[in-house]
Amino acid sequence: MQSLGYIGFFAQAFQELSIEGTPGRVVSDHGGAYLVDEQLTTVSGRLRHAGTQPVVGDWVVVRDTIIQAVLPRRTELRRAAAGRRTEVQVLAANVDTAFVVMGLDDNFNLRRLDRFLTLAQGGIQPVVVLNKTDVSAEGESRQALVRQLHPTAPCGRISAVTGDGLDFLVPWLAPAQTVAVIGSSGVGKSTLINRLLGEDRLRTQAVRATDAHGRHTTTHRELLTLPGGALLIDTPGLREVQLWDDAGLDDAFSTVTNLSQACRFRDCRHDKEPGCAVRGQVADDELRTFHKLRRELRHQASRQDGRIRLEEKRPVRLIHRAQQRKYRGEP
Ligand code: GDP
Ligand code: ZN
């Protein structure tokens, strides 16, 4: 409903492809069965054959409890599972903002923050949420440090327990905005989510779903609707990110980085360069992941640079516009 514009945009494309059905959004994933709004669905054989796997947040087209199509994703929250099983895993789709939650207590760790921030790429706005101000005397200095290291990620301090500072989150919680809440275990994600949901948690989040046989079951949502109309994603997939938190990406990077010290060329891309110390030492798929991640990080950096430049120009543009109005005699 809120995103009819987006759906409408694709409706025509689907009509042309003669995909018929009702658009809906995946609110939870039960391993092969998906809750789409209030309906338990499965994926069509054709999609399964094509390797298409819906995730929470996906917009899909459903006919007779079968997902017929997955709409192109605006964004993907994903992790690169590096190492032996190299694959990029999509954790959630169509996410606007990622709240990266970190405790201001012993949990505070800049390296870990870096890793969680790498999840929010390709159009997802990362927002650093430093939690537990009520038990930390270093909140201010730590916030300053984060701001210095990640100038393009808004960073605020809150206490999910006392409710202090929650106003900071308001700009990203407008109606129809989708926010994924990530961060390692114990940082206060559940406490924060419960607080934002208020009394609505029990009322709206248990779902009486209908399956293909018309049977009713009670299930849960992982895409949660806030009273104000924003959507929060809280999936087990995101909760398990911590498993990767201290291994995966870091391993892939450190192995390649360490080996590359011995490459003949400083700027070796470990591709076809002679005297490369990395190629051959690292499994091909691992190297591919490394390249992919590095490309994504570069892309993210350049995107952020672009945004900074735009922001810097904004006041100038506003002044220009005001001057033009003045010359035209407009108010
Ligand atoms: P999660 O694993 O990220 O979902 O974290 P929880 O929400 O379960 O919180 C872990 C622990 O931290 C619980 O004991 C919470 O009561 C506590 N906690 C969460 N937020 C705050 C806070 O702002 N201040 C304090 N003092 N404790 C908090
Ligand atoms: Zn090399």
Q: Regarding predicted confidence, which is higher, 308 or 261?
A: 261
* pLDDT over 60 (residue 330): no
* Of 44, 77, 84, 83, the residue nearest 60 (C-alpha): 44
What mean pLDDT is predicted for residues 127-148? 93
| Residue located via tokens 């094509």 | 50
Q: Kindly give the distance from the C-alpha atom of residue 258 to the centroid of ligand 2, in angstroms, as a whole number.
A: 11
pLDDT on residue 272: 85
Question: Could you report the per-residue pLDDT of 144-162, keeping only the tens digit for each?
Answer: 999 988 889 999 999 999 9
Question: Could you report the per-residue pLDDT of 153-205, keeping only the tens digit for each?
Answer: 999 999 999 999 999 999 999 999 999 999 888 889 988 998 998 865 654 45
Which ligand gives the minimal distance to the CA of 258?
A: 2
pLDDT on residue 107: 79
Rounded Cα–Cα distance for residues 97 and 105 (Å): 24
Residue type, 167: D
Best probe residue, ligand 1, of 191, 192, 240 (max atoms within 8 Å of C-beta):
191
Q: Kindly give the distance from the C-alpha atom of residue 114 to the centroid of ligand 2, in angstroms, as a whole number.
A: 25
pLDDT on residue 82: 43
pLDDT on residue 248: 42
Pocket around ligand 1 at a 6 A CB cut-off? 131-132, 134-135, 159-161, 183, 185-191
Pure H helices in 110-245: 110-119, 139-149, 189-197, 200-205, 236-239, 241-245
| Residues found in the chain | 331
Q: Kindly give the distance from the C-alpha atom of residue 297 to the centroid of ligand 1, in angstroms, as a whole number.
A: 31
Residue type, 28: S
pLDDT on residue 80: 59
